[in-house]
Structure 1
Amino acid sequence: KKSLADAVLLMMAIRDVTVEIIFLTQTVVGILGNVFLLCHYTILYFTGCRSRSTDVILQHLVVANFLTLLSKGVPQAMAFGWERYPRDLGCKLFVFFHRVGRGMSMGSICLLSVFQVITISPPNSRWAELKLKSPKFIVSSICLCWMLQMLVSIIFPLYMSGKVSDKNITKKKDFGFCVAVRHDKVRDALHTLLLLLPDVSCLGLMLWASGYMVFLLYRHKQQVQHIRRKNTSCRSSPESRATKTILLLVSNFVYFYTLSSIFQIILNCLDNPSLLLVNIAAVMAALFPTVSPFLLVSRDATARRFYFVWIRNAKSLAVIRSM
């Protein structure tokens, strides 16, 4: 019986370590992808090679992804490999920045969808008047989104505490590097409802804009179908390609957000979630920030050229150093 119990404990330890390694690998890959994309957009901005209004929103999406991955990956690594946990203030800061980054990712995708709807709307639509004015409001909309996410995310650190803390907490829920302070169920339900309102609003607006973009793309395809028959070399317009890229981002975000939300709901329902479930929830929460830069690179010819030049230069430097 003792050997069987030891074998079970060993299998559980191997399982937890495997999930932790997957999460840390995912974090490193995601950070590298977002750093590459941020360098790409920064070079485009300073060289003036391409002037596209949505690039500004994509830059902030990359920053939000980077913030999400870093604020989750660093404390998880501390809890896993270093055997040192963030103190109370460090835990609250990590949780705050993670929630801001996560919320800003959703806000950026929402802004991308809305501004793209305005861009591709037909001249006789109600959005036509906003086409020329919309680029002027992009920066202010992004700043407003950052401020809103910071205000909403202030609530989260109030419910969290570091494992290394002087506070005597009787009701707590272990989340690996931090513990959550549990209150009565009514208070927790009101807190959850308050925090879900911005997410549900953004998600609803995002889905509406995506549905309208699909409708506009379908109608445009029907209108130019006879032109494609006459001219087989006819290519899709830049607006159409940008719209398809945004739709790809939205569909992936909704899919990964749904998976992450399911695990978050399970964690909130359980009084003492296992370490495995906490780690799987962390992996699910980091899926979109990890995948999105590679989706953007695959859809952007300029980014792909920049990537190949970057790889070629890195190989050249490696060869020179080895000589």
Structure 2
Amino acid sequence: MEASDKAIAVMFSTQTLVGVLGNLSLLCRYMLLCFSGFSFKSTDLILWHMIVANVLTLLCKGVPQTMVALGFKDFLNDFGCKLLVYLHRVGRGVCMSSTCSLSVFQAITISPWNSLWAELKAEAPKYISSSLCLSWILYVLISIFSLMYISANYKNNTKNVKDLGYCFAVRPDKIIYTLYAIIQSVPDLIFVGLMLWASSSMLFTLHRHKQRMQHMPRTNVSSRRSTESRATETILLLVSTFVCSYTLSCMLTLSVTLLLNPSWSLVNMAAIVAGSFPAMSPFLLMRCHNVAHSPCFSWIKTERMSIVLKLT
């Protein structure tokens, strides 16, 4: 085994192990708070789904890529190969939709009472469960198309076959591939657009809130300013990390798809970038736990903060 293969195996295994442990530790923290009688917000359900999607994405991509880098070949049958690719695509899609849902519902929650979203404040939590179920159903159905051109062994017509290391991808004809690309890309673009809009709306609301707080006594502002800045920074880090990793991942994946014989370094780089957000997101969310020993954005629950937001 070459030194480069060992380095790639270390990178994949480290990313997978750290990411899975980070997500599971965040999930355990929620469970401990649940057993302690803590009352959760409705948006915490979104974070639970995000954690499950992150773990699914990391395991279904990181583990087989690590085994390939270590020199293992043909360790999956056709069913196992299709299942791993399918679950990875489902987890990736749900991770994206969960991040979008978190941003949108949070933007509605902290929006001023005189805004256009005021009427949705009381109704929005009722639709969280249904929106999460629809996101799972959406990507469960969309990802079925990937089963058509993924196989563990493919010997005929090798000109249109790409070796992904642990699976073979059979390139369909241009019409089918174009339709699949459109079906796969449209929901992603919609979710990314909604995420950017919701995050911008939250930042604008928090900026107005900060200006409002400057006219309050310093003794009351100091603690709130710290809480507010932490929440703002968490939103910026979470969304910017996702957008950057998603954009770079799309560029690398597109390069791997369009090239007839992509290099192994390009394939491995695309896989590492694809797992960067699921691995980093739990640590970004943990930052918000330090605000008040409660789930993310729980600072909005305080009565004083609610009163100030109503006046903005």
Instruction: Quickly say closer, same or farther: Cα 1:193–1:266, change in 2 above 3 A.
Output: same
State whether residues 68 and 166 of structure 2, in contact with CA within 8 Å, keep that contact through their aligned partners in structure 1. yes
State whether residues 107 and 145 of structure 1, in contact with CA within 8 Å, keep that contact through their aligned partners in structure 2. yes
Are residues 1:192 and 2:181 paired?
A: yes
Shift of 1:44: 2.1
Where do 1:1-323 residues align within 5 Å? 13-81=2-70, 82-163=72-153, 168-170=156-158, 171-227=160-216, 229=218, 231=220, 233-236=222-225, 241-242=230-231, 244-301=233-290
Shift of 1:18: 1.3
Instruction: Quickly say closer, same or farther: Cα 1:83–1:173, change in 2 above 3 A.
Output: closer
State whether residues 79 and 85 of structure 1, in contact with CA within 8 Å, keep that contact through their aligned partners in structure 2. no
Amino acid at match of 1:125: S
Shift of 1:184: 2.6
Q: Which residues of structure 2 form unaligned runs of 5+?
A: 296-312
Higher mean C-alpha displacement, 209-218 vs 283-292? 209-218
CA offset digits 1:177-219 (Å, max 9, x no partner): 1111012334323321221011001011111111111111111
Shift of 1:48: 2.6
Q: In structure 2, what is the Cα distance between the partners aligned to 1:281 and 1:138? A: 32
Instruction: Quickly say closer, same or farther: Cα 1:189–1:238, change in 2 above 3 A.
Output: same
Task: Report SS of the residue matched to 1:180.
Answer: strand
Instruction: Give the TM-score of the pair, scaled to structure 1.
Output: 0.83
Instruction: Quickly say closer, same or farther: Cα 1:239–1:63, change in 2 above 3 A.
Output: farther
Amino acid at match of 1:73: G
Shift of 1:154: 1.0
State whether residues 49 and 98 of structure 2, in contact with CA within 8 Å, keep that contact through their aligned partners in structure 1. yes
Structure with larger Rg: 1
Task: Report SS of the residue matched to 1:190.
Answer: helix
Q: In structure 2, what is the Cα distance between the partners aligned to 1:303 and 1:84? A: 49
Higher mean C-alpha displacement, 294-303 vs 38-47? 294-303
Shift of 1:233: 2.9
Task: Report SS of the residue matched to 2:82.
Answer: helix
Shift of 1:145: 1.0
Percent identity between matched residues is 53
Instruction: Give the TM-score of the pair, scaled to structure 2.
Output: 0.86
Amino acid at match of 1:90: G
CA offset digits 1:252-286 (Å, max 9, x no partner): 11111111111101101111112221111111111
Shift of 1:303: 9.5
Q: In structure 2, what is the Cα distance between the partners aligned to 1:148 and 1:237? A: 39
Amino acid at match of 1:98: H
Q: In structure 1, what is the Cα distance between the partners aligned to 2:172 and 2:130? A: 37
Task: Report SS of the residue matched to 1:177.
Answer: coil
Shift of 1:305: 10
Q: In structure 1, what is the Cα distance between the partners aligned to 2:75 and 2:292? A: 38
State whether residues 162 and 178 of structure 1, in contact with CA within 8 Å, keep that contact through their aligned partners in structure 2. yes
Instruction: Quickly say closer, same or farther: Cα 1:227–1:304, change in 2 above 3 A.
Output: closer
CA offset digits 1:21-63 (Å, max 9, x no partner): 2111111111111111111112223333242222111111111
Q: In structure 2, what is the Cα distance between the partners aligned to 1:60 and 1:229? A: 39
Shift of 1:156: 1.3
